[in-house]
Each structure stands twice: as C-alpha cells, then as structure tokens.
Structure 1
Amino acid sequence: MHVKPLTENEIRSSFVNASKREVSQASLPVLDGLDWERLEYLGWRDSKRPLGYAVVVIDDVPTGIILRAAPPPTALGGRRRSAICAWCEDPIETKDVSLYVAKRGGAAGRKGDTIGTLICTEFVCSSNVRRKPTFTELGSDDPTDRELFIERRIAGLTERSAKFVAAI
C-alpha cells in the first residue's frame, strides 16, 4: 500500500511522538514531483539537524514520527560498517544505513522511553524494494518470478515500517 498524496498540514498533524513545538519546527520535504504511487512511506531528513521524519499509513491513517539520527561511527572515531535496513531489508544497499531512534508517543515518550532501528539514511527503501533482484536473490530469470519477488519485498517494507511506527 502506498502513501496517498499528503499536504503540509496533513503531515504536521500526523506526528504521534512530537510536541506542538517540535511539530511546528519540523522541516518538511518538497512535495512537488513526488511519485506517490511508488512510496510505501514518506521519509526525509532534516538538512540542518540530525533528525529524520517518516509518515507511514496504519489502518488507512497517515501516522508520522520524528526520529533522531545517531552519529555515524566515523564521527565517533570508529569506521563505518555495512548494515541492513530493518525496513527494506535490501542486502545490496548496505553502506548508507543509520541507526534512528524515536521517542515513544504519550506518557512513555515524556518519560524518555525510546525505540530504535536501522533505516536507510536517506529513506530510499521504496526504491530499494523495487530494484531488479539479482539472480542469487531470485534464483530465476523469469519475469513473473521477478514481479512476485518485488511485490513480496514491497509488502514486507509496508508491514515492517508500519509495525515499527505502531510500536511508538
């Protein structure tokens, strides 16, 4: 299920783990030109702060979260390691994955409770799941098998991203 086109007001009102101040200060993506039919969720990064945002559809309701990006290991003196995004689970695009942490909604979030996961740093999961699978991944060159494989990856992304946001 893809995200239906959203307005700036719909995006701002969708956040479930943010204060009014955080919502008003949230940077919003450029909505013009987005291919909504090819987005299982709307995700973007703040260009000035270490924040990410995601709006996922849960029970036909757009549900937004604000995420804080952990500093990359290289910023901490370590070397950057490859990782698999927990949402798209793409085994090829593993270099640009970051730990994102979100405070929980409601009283739990006000107490400081958080939940984290590895997500593609630039929120490109929707294009990753549509990537032509390698022969090793698919075990076939059949176009029908390829379409079914991509459909399963899209469904998995939809399910995993919604499950994470629902846990918030």
Structure 2
Amino acid sequence: MQALTEHEVRAVLVNASDDERDRLALPLDFPLVEWDHLDFFAWRDPRTRGRGYLVAELDGAATGIVLRAGGGSSHAHPAMCNLCHTMQPGDQVALFTARRAGDAGDRGDSVGTYICADLSCHENVRLAAPLAPGEIRASVDRRIDGTKHRIEAFVERIAEP
C-alpha cells in the first residue's frame, strides 16, 4: 500500500464529515506503520468508542471509510469475519456499519457487515490455523488475496455515488 501522511488519511475518508475528520485519532503507532507490508490500513479510534476506520487502494488511489461498531455481540457462539473469513470467539467479531458516501449517505443509507472487532484482519489472515482431520491447508496467498478483494469491494460499495 502507498504510504500516507496524517493529512492524507483524513482527506481520503469518503463518508466522513468535516467534524469527523477533525476528531479522528490515528493509532499511537502511526509513525511506525510499514506501508509496504500492508494490503489495507484499518484501526479502531483510540479516543472514540465504537468508531473505526479502513483505508484501501481502489484503482491505485487510497480510499477510506468511517466505520461504527454495533453495541451488541454474541459471546456464546463463534462467529466469522465477513472480510478475512476467520472464525473468532463471538465477542471478537462485531457488526460494523458505514454511512454511504454522497447523497445516499445524506439520506441515511448505510452498509453493514461483521468484521473482526479489533479490525485486525490483516494479521488474522496470515495466522496459521490448526487443521481438522482430512483438511488441506489453503494457500496463505489465496487467503490474503481474498481478504484484500473483499475489503476493496466493501470500501467501493460505501464510496460509490
């Protein structure tokens, strides 16, 4: 992923108001981000409970969205992240919604999906999971590519006019 400055991260958020851009808090380790190793950049706002951000490259240009986490979670049942397709304990997957960009968002249109609660899909997809009997491990590269494709499609769905 191309390296971004703090100003650029704020500027690429297509569904954010000016107030949201001003209030945005980058992760504390933002100066240390290794952009060359990222397929996308996602983080939870350290100052605003329930808010997260996701930046991906669409057609070579960085495009970001503001996410809002739902309040409830299922602690009893495992759940799957719809972006990285990893199974997690139920309290580690949350429903995130994003207001659509433009007029659709102004009318209240939003899109939601279940995502790793800490937005750690980038790391989770790279972890090796134990194999079930008779299971053949899928290529990590295919898992990474699939996650990247699903994230780009989700961001594009929010960003399209």
Indicate the TM-score class for this superposition, using the shorter chain for normalisation: 0.7 to 0.9
Q: 1:61 to 1:83 in 2, by over 3 A?
A: same
Report the CA distance between 1:19 and its aligned residue. 1.3
Q: Following TM superposition, by how much is the alpha carbon of 1:31 offset from its aligned partner in structure 2, in angstroms? A: 1.3
Unaligned runs of 5+ in 2: none
Contact 1:38 1:126 in 2 (8 A): no
Kindly report structure 1 stretches of 4+ aligned residues shifted beyond 2 Å: 32-39, 78-82, 133-140
- Aligned Cα RMSD in Å? 2.0
Match of 1:115 among 111, 115, 120: 111
Q: Distance in 2 between matches of 1:159 and 1:130?
A: 15
Pairing 1:42–2:41 present: yes
Give, in whole Å, the separation in 1 of the partners of 2:97 and 2:15: 11
What does residue 166 of structure 1 align with? 156
Identify the range of structure 1 (28-37 vs 99-108) with the bigger mean alpha-carbon deviation: 28-37
State the alpha-carbon separation in 1 of the partners of residues 134 and 5 from structure 2: 38
1:14-163 aligned within 5 A: 14-29=12-27, 30-49=29-48, 50-73=50-73, 79=75, 81-91=77-87, 93-95=88-90, 96-136=92-132, 139-140=135-136, 149-163=139-153
2-side partners of 1:32 and 1:138: how far apart?
44
Distance 1:94 1:161, change over 3 A: farther
Query: Could you tell me how far apart the structure 2 residues matched to 1:137 and 1:58 are?
Result: 39
Offset at residue 133 of structure 1 (A): 3.8
AA in 2 matched with 1:16: V
Alpha-carbon contact 2:75-2:89 (below 8 Å) kept: no
Q: TM-score, normalised by structure 2?
A: 0.86
Aligned length: 155
Conserved? CA contact 1:57–1:63, under 8 Å: yes
Q: CA separation of 1:11/1:40 partners in 2, compared to 1, >3 Å: closer, same or farther?
A: same
For 1:81 and 1:132, the matched residues in 2 are separated by 21
Q: CA separation in 2, counterparts of 1:103 and 1:34?
A: 27
Q: Is the 8 A contact 1:82 1:94 kept in 2?
A: yes
Stretches of structure 1 that go unaligned for 5 or more consecutive residues are 141-145
Classify the secondary structure of the residue corresponding to 1:136: coil
In structure 1, the partner of 2:7 is: 9
**2:100 maps to amino acid:** R
Q: Report the residue type matching 1:12 in the other structure.
A: R
Confirm or deny: 8 A CA contact 2:26 2:46 kept in the other structure.
no
CA distance in 1, matches of 2:61, 2:134: 33
